[in-house]
């Protein structure tokens, strides 16, 4: 009986979504690559790697991202740019406030089980509008309420820790709670965490400085 990853791999190969046959790097190595890339970006030394036509042709036959970024949809946080990475380097799942639900969870699991990414980074950012709405607005229109309701527990927890800087504290608490949620997500991610085969961490992007702070 084939396991879930084999079945997933077979299915995605059949529709043309394949992983390139390259050596996978460890979570620690992947994290170091992100840190080094952000340092280049912040210091104005970005090299913009793997962004030429040859890379376009290479990744047209498959992908081999070394990390998954679960980030906010905010247009001011372009993941490949702030980490100075190229085409096919990062598998990115983005929603406002980096709120995850079933489609996001499936995408994250796909990246881990099929594409082999062993580092998952929940990337929030300062001055987040979605978190600010959860902090300040009594109600919001339409389906936006689903985002706000998902963030409000982080706001309530932040109130107990640092009510004087509630937005900043809520942003950080939201990231931490989302990390915990992914670590406990059965049956795939929680199992990999217990095995020690993947690493799930939080990070905060500073809109003013361009610096990413990792919560390790």
Assign residue 94 the CATH number of its domain.
3.40.1050.10
pLDDT of 8? 60
Is pLDDT at 21 greater than 90 in this prediction? no
Pinpoint the alpha helices (H) of the chain: 4-14, 27-42, 53-59, 79-82, 102-110, 129-136, 144-161, 166-183, 189-195
* Mean pLDDT in residue range 134-144: 91
**Domain membership of residue 13 as a residue range:** 4-215
> Is pTM, for the whole model, over 0.85?
yes
Residue 1 pLDDT greater than 50, yes or no: no
Contact 121, 202 (CB under 8 A): yes
> Considering its fold, how many domains does the chain have in total?
1
Under a CB-based contact definition with an 8 Å cutoff, are residues 162 and 170 in contact? Answer: no
Q: What is the pLDDT of residues 29-62, one digit of tens each?
A: 999 999 999 999 999 999 999 999 999 999 999 9
């Amino acid at each position: 009986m084939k396991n879930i990853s084999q079945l997933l791999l077979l299915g995605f190969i059949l529709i043309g979504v394949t992983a390139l046959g390259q050596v996978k790097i460890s979570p620690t190595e992947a994290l170091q690559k992100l840190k080094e890339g952000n340092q280049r970006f912040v210091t104005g030394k970005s090299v913009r790697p793997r962004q030429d036509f040859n890379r376009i042709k290479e990744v047209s036959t498959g992908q081999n991202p070394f990390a998954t970024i679960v980030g906010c949809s905010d247009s001011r946080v372009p993941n490949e740019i702030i980490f100075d990475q190229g085409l096919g380097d990062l598998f990115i799942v983005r929603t406002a406030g980096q709120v995850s639900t079933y489609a996001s969870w499936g995408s994250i699991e796909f990246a881990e089980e099929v594409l082999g990414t062993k580092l998952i980074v929940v990337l929030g950012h300062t001055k987040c509008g979605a978190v600010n709405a959860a902090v300040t607005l009594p109600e919001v229109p339409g389906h936006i309420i689903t985002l706000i309701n998902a963030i409000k527990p982080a706001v309530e927890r932040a109130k107990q820790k640092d009510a004087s800087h509630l937005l900043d504290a809520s942003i950080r608490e939201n990231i931490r709670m989302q990390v915990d949620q992914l670590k406990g997500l059965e049956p795939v991610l929680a199992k990999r965490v217990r095995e020690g085969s993947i690493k799930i961490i939080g990070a905060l992007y500073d809109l003013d400085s361009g610096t990413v702070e990792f919560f390790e």
